[in-house]
């Protein structure tokens, strides 16, 4: 069973289609992108104008012509109209009001007896059904449905019924979830957002609450009825940063007599004053004038020349950035349907063209203010010519012209092709914010070039003894790089042999490779994850500023993630030395403590981690040391190219053993621990570093023999390397894009092919 949805009309219809798609897939339908091959085709119709209605008749005919077995279902504005039903009787089989979506299965059963039974929740309204989102970065979030305004020309109150609104808590939790998974634009939609009510909570309060949701996203809303734009809303526009500087305010006509006949309930002076207040709040909030857009109907019954002139005057006064101009279309059942449609089509077209001339003039005048400005743009896609395009906060379309070959070369900053120009990585930027410098403007479009994108960082990760450092050093040599260590123990001075801190190894073919985040703290002091992150960011920024390639190298999963996922951490000092105490707790106690601090973190632990007391104690220590530590991801600061080394387990075991014996017998690892002890690092503190330091401390305290030291430490290092691999695999499952490689050639080839 396959389905296809054809959506006509407004954003609300698109949001309905997202819910419809989810519902149909729950019933067992699979999406068929070509409607002439689908078993079920649902048309989400628009009845606002006759032209939109006519599209439905044309479509139904075309579908049946190419796909005789298709079952056509109709929803949207036209689904309840008896005349439409009889006109489509030969073609469409099912008609349903979208507010009755929960019961669509009953009608479908007749034609698709194999549809799955779905557990029906007690939905108060269909908006509670989850959507299958059509975009992965810009979300439509309906806050309500229906309209109580009864503008005399409009079918919406008849088609969608009276206003209903979703509870604020549902809307907020939906948006929190969207932002967590990376949505960059939230569009609140309803026929009249300003009428929103959830108990005592009104629309401005809802906006304020949404604006407070942590994360980097833009907030938009539409549509607003001019009569309902309150001073409270205007105040909120100014004070809340995520609300974009674009206001769509449909005016319909510039003439008071026509507005009255349209039942719009405001006068044109009220409208102009409202626009002024909006501009006062939004203008230059983000460096540019606010954009005001509108809807207009030309040729409404009784619209004489002077009435139309008033609309032209309104265009001169307001200088809209965009206007959706419609020719009046009498709609059956509406109040104005009873009026004589006395302006002929030619005249309506002429008026439309006249307004378009004014619109173009003022839109260009407005856009001229964008020349040479650097703007944030949310990238939406790549056009047929391969240019990226997106939108500004003011909703202006921006096209980013491809950098020329020459300029591209200049921008490579001395690294071989590790660049993030739009030629190299254009699709990667879809759904991302970028900075663009505008160098050309048109009436309805701006053109510019990418001036800043996230710099690129190379990551080499892998378990202990996998050869990460040697690989990174070679790459740093070949790609003009510097190394940033992500090793939680190499940060400590004097802990060299035990951590494999081979500083002589940071040299290749006679060239020294600069390194960072090694030897930055005394082992007597504590070093927190937050401190690591701060220093790593500063090292990376510094490397980038020199035009070099930062290479983040290490095996400490938490440290790597703190940088890659830009963990939001509070800089609170860690509480060290309590791990022993935590290790004395039972598994259940450890579970419940971790769960209490961070349930999400606990959920992410795998079985072996949950059954390992030492590991849990370490987690608890880290969680507590970071106070409100929560691996909440921030907006990534860089683009990461992550390579992982994962040698065969047996090879690794052999390497670990040989390395251990060498360190003990030839490199005086025991002497190193003795020296640390002598310099004032307690056994307790040494044990807290784990592995080599823990077991040698046991040996020095005569708790174990030399042979036990070798045996136990070897097992512990092997287990540790297994755990490192589980951590990386888990990160990968949670979305970290790791390319597993065997050696330097593979990494080089990947970099060259970028
Ligand atoms: N609720 C929105 C508002 O009031 O701004 C408008 C929603 S309506 C579905 C979208 C637009 O369609 C209207 O703003 C109006 O310009 C246009 N429209 C509605 N009915 C129309 C009609 N009978 N003839 C021509 N245009 C119409
Ligand atoms: Fe239609 Fe007026 Fe309601 Fe907008 S406010 S949906 S134009 S009735």
Q: How far is the CA of 121 from the centre of ligand 2 (A)?
A: 31
Query: Which CATH number does the domain housing residue 331 bear?
Result: 3.80.30.20
What pLDDT does residue 417 have?
35
What pLDDT does residue 422 have?
39
Structure confidence at residue 597 as a pLDDT band (50, 70, 90): confident
Q: How far is the CA of 257 from the centre of ligand 2 (A)?
A: 18
User: Of ligand 1's atoms, which has the minimum distance to the CA of residue 155?
Assistant: 20
pLDDT of 477 over the 80 cut: yes
Same domain, residue pair 393 and 514: no
Same domain, residue pair 413 and 483: no
Instruction: Name the residue with the closest Cα to ligand 2, atom 4.
Output: 191
pLDDT of 571 over the 70 cut: no
Query: Which CATH number does the domain housing residue 379 bear?
Result: 2.40.50
Q: Nearest 5°: phi and psi at 492?
A: -90, 135
**Which tokens hold the place of 304?**
């004489």
Same domain, residue pair 552 and 654: yes
Same domain, residue pair 621 and 674: no
Q: How far is the CA of 244 from the centre of ligand 2 (A)?
A: 23
Same domain, residue pair 464 and 448: no
End of a domain among 80, 96, 126?
A: 126
**Which tokens hold the place of 91?**
């073609």
Lowest mean pLDDT among 194-203, 280-289, 310-319, 480-489: 280-289
pLDDT digits (tens, 9 = 90+) for 211-264: 999 888 999 999 999 999 999 999 999 889 899 999 999 999 999 999 999 999
Measure CA 226 to chain center.
31
Contact indicator for 131, 170 with CB cutoff of 8 Å: no
Same domain, residue pair 546 and 665: yes
| CB distance 593 to ligand 1 below 6 Å | no
Q: How far is the CA of 48 from the centre of ligand 1 (A)?
A: 6
Sequence-ordered list of residues with C-beta below 8 angstroms from that of 155, at least 6 positions apart, any chain: 47, 48, 77, 331, 333, 334
Shortest-distance ligand to the CA of residue 9: 1
Query: Which CATH number does the domain housing residue 706 bear?
Result: 3.40.50.300
Same domain, residue pair 43 and 61: yes
Instruction: Name the residue with the closest Cα to ligand 1, atom 20.
Output: 154
Share of the chain above pLDDT 70, in %: 92
pLDDT digits (tens, 9 = 90+) for 88-102: 988 999 999 999 999
pLDDT digits (tens, 9 = 90+) for 129-163: 989 999 999 999 999 999 999 999 999 999 999 99
Instruction: Name the residue with the closest Cα to ligand 2, atom 1.
Output: 154
| CB distance 250 to ligand 1 below 6 Å | yes
- Neighbour-count burial for 131-140, b at 16+ CB within 10 Å, e otherwise: bbbebebbbb
What pLDDT does residue 615 have?
78
Query: What is the overall mean pLDDT for the chain?
Result: 89
* Structural domain range at position 106: 2-126
Same domain, residue pair 477 and 575: no
Instruction: Name the residue with the closest Cα to ligand 1, atom 5.
Output: 250
What's the mean pLDDT in 735-751? 80
Contact indicator for 475, 409 with CB cutoff of 8 Å: no
User: Of ligand 1's atoms, which has the minimum distance to the CA of residue 153?
Assistant: 23
Instruction: Name the residue with the closest Cα to ligand 1, atom 11.
Output: 295
**Which tokens hold the place of 337?**
């349907």
CA dihedral 494, 499, 502, 506 (to 10 degrees): -100
DSSP string, 176-231: HHHHHTT--EEEEE-TTGGG-EETTEEHHHHHHHHHTSSSS-EEEEE-B-GGG--H
Sequence-ordered list of residues with C-beta below 8 angstroms from that of 230, at least 6 positions apart, any chain: 194, 204
pLDDT of 418 over the 50 cut: no
Same domain, residue pair 386 and 430: yes
Q: Nearest 5°: phi and psi at 220?
A: -130, 160
End of a domain among 362, 396, 414?
A: 362
| CB distance 579 to ligand 1 below 6 Å | no
Structure confidence at residue 575 as a pLDDT band (50, 70, 90): very low
Q: Which of 126, 106, 127 is nearest to 117 (CA)?
A: 106
What's the mean pLDDT in 502-510? 90
**Which tokens hold the place of 207?**
């906006």
User: Of ligand 2's atoms, which has the minimum distance to the CA of residue 192?
Assistant: 5
Q: For 327, which DSSP code? A: E
Structure confidence at residue 414 as a pLDDT band (50, 70, 90): very low
Best of 157, 160, 251, 265 to mutate for ligand 2, by most ligand atoms within 8 A of CB? 157
Shortest-distance ligand to the CA of residue 153: 1
Q: How far is the CA of 144 from the centre of ligand 1 (A)?
A: 18
User: Of ligand 1's atoms, which has the minimum distance to the CA of residue 324?
Assistant: 16
User: Of ligand 2's atoms, which has the minimum distance to the CA of residue 148?
Assistant: 3
What pLDDT does residue 622 have?
72
Measured between its terminal Cα atoms, the distance across the chain in Å is: 41
Number of structural domains in the chain? 5
Number of H helices, E strands in the chain: 28, 28
User: Of ligand 1's atoms, which has the minimum distance to the CA of residue 46?
Assistant: 9
Strands 197-198 vs 185-189: parallel, antiparallel or unpaired: unpaired
- Neighbour-count burial for 34-48, b at 16+ CB within 10 Å, e otherwise: ebeebbbbbbbbbbb
pLDDT of 425 over the 50 cut: no
| CB distance 331 to ligand 1 below 6 Å | yes
Residues 305 and 528: their CA atoms lie apart, in Å, by 74
Query: Which CATH number does the domain housing residue 93 bear?
Result: 3.40.50.2300
Same domain, residue pair 470 and 553: yes
| CB distance 153 to ligand 1 below 6 Å | yes
Residues 76 and 74: their CA atoms lie apart, in Å, by 7
What's the mean pLDDT in 79-84? 93
Q: How far is the CA of 283 from the centre of ligand 2 (A)?
A: 27
Residues 743 and 643: their CA atoms lie apart, in Å, by 10
| CB distance 295 to ligand 1 below 6 Å | yes
Instruction: Name the residue with the closest Cα to ligand 1, atom 18.
Output: 48
Residues 311 and 317: their CA atoms lie apart, in Å, by 10
Same domain, residue pair 407 and 313: no
End of a domain among 107, 126, 145?
A: 126
Same domain, residue pair 480 and 332: no
Residues 665 and 437: their CA atoms lie apart, in Å, by 61
Q: How far is the CA of 741 from the centre of ligand 2 (A)?
A: 59
Instruction: Name the residue with the closest Cα to ligand 1, atom 13.
Output: 295
DSSP string, 39-98: SEEEEEE--SSHHHHHHHHHHHHHHHHH-TTPEEEEEETTTT-HHHHHHHTTTEEEE--G
């Amino acid at each position: 069973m396959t389905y296809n949805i054809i959506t006509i009309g407004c954003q609300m219809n698109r949001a309905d289609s997202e819910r419809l798609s989810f519902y149909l897939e729950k019933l067992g339908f699979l999406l068929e992108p070509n409607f002439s091959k689908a078993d079920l085709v649902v048309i989400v119709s628009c009845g606002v104008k006759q032209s939109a209605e006519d599209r439905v008749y044309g479509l139904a005919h075309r579908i049946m012509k190419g796909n005789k077995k298709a079952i056509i279902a109709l929803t949207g504005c036209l689904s309840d109209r008896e005349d439409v039903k009889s006109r489509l009787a030969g073609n469409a089989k099912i008609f349903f009001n979208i507010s009755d979506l929960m019961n669509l299965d009953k009608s479908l059963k007749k034609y698709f007896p194999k549809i799955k039974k779905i557990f029906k929740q007690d939905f108060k309204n269909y908006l509670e059904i989850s959507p299958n989102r059509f975009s992965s970065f810009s979300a439509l979030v309906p806050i309500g449905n229906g309209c109580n305004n009864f503008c005399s020309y409009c079918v919406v109150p008849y088609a969608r019924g009276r206003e209903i609104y979703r509870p604020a808590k549902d809307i907020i939790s939906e948006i929190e979830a969207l932002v967590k998974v990376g949505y960059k634009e939230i569009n609140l939609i309803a026929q009249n957002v300003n009428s929103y009510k959830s108990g005592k909570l009104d629309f401005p309060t809802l906006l304020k609450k949404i604006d407070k949701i942590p994360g980097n996203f833009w907030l938009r809303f539409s549509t607003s009825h001019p009569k309902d734009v309150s001073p409270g809303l205007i105040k909120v526009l100014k004070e809340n940063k995520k609300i974009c500087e674009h206001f769509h305010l449909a005016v319909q006509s510039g003439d008071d007599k026509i507005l009255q006949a349209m039942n719009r309930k405001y006068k044109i002076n009220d409208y102009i004053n409202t626009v002024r207040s909006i501009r006062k709040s939004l203008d230059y909030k983000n460096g540019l004038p606010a954009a005001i857009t509108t809807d207009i109907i030309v040729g409404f019954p009784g619209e004489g020349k002077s009435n139309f002139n008033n609309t032209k005057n309104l265009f001169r006064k307001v200088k809209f950035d965009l206007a959706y101009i419609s020719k009046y279309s009498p709609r059956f059942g509406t109040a104005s349907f009873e009026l004589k449609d006395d302006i002929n089509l030619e005249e309506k077209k002429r008026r439309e063209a006249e307004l378009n001339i004014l619109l173009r003039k003022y839109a260009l005048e407005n856009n001229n203010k964008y020349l040479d400005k650097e703007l944030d743009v949310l990238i939406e896609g790549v056009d047929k010519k391969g240019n990226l395009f997106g939108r500004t906060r003011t909703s202006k379309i921006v096209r980013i012209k491809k950098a020329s070959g020459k300029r591209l070369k200049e921008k490579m900053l001395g690294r071989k092709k590790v660049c993030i120009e739009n030629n190299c990585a254009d699709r990667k930027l879809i759904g991302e914010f970028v900075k663009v410098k505008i160098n050309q403007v048109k009436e309805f479009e701006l053109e510019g070039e990418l001036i800043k994108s996230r710099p690129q960082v190379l990551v080499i990760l892998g378990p202990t003894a996998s050869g990460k450092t040697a690989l990174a050093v070679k790459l740093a040599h070949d790609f003009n790089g510097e190394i940033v260590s992500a090793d939680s123990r190499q940060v400590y001075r004097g802990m060299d042999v035990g951590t494999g801190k081979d500083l002589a190894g940071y040299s290749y073919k006679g060239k020294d490779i600069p390194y960072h985040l090694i030897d930055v703290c005394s082992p007597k002091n504590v070093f927190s994850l937050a401190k690591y992150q701060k220093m790593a960011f500063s090292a990376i920024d510094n490397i980038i500023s020199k035009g070099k390639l930062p290479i983040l190298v290490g095996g400490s999963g938490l440290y790597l993630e703190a940088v890659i996922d830009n963990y939001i951490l509070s800089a609170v000092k860690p509480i060290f030395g309590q791990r022993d105490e935590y290790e004395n707790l039972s598994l259940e106690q450890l579970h419940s403590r971790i769960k209490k601090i961070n349930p999400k973190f606990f959920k992410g632990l795998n079985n072996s981690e949950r059954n390992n007391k030492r590991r849990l104690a370490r987690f608890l220590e880290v969680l507590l040391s970071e106070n409100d530590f929560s691996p909440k991801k921030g907006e990534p600061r860089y683009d990461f190219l992550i390579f992982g080394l994962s040698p065969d387990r047996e090879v690794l075991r052999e390497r670990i053993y040989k390395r251990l014996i060498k360190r003990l017998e030839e490199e005086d690892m025991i002497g190193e621990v003795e020296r640390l002890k002598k310099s004032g690092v307690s056994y307790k503190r040494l044990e807290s570093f784990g592995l080599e330091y823990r077991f040698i401390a046991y040996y020095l305290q005569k708790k174990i023999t030399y042979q036990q030291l070798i045996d136990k430490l070897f097992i512990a290092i092997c287990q540790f390397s297994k755990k490192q691999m589980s951590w990386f695999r888990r990160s990968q499952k949670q979305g970290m894009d790791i390319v597993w490689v065997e050696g330097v050639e593979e990494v080089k080839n990947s970099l060259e092919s970028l």
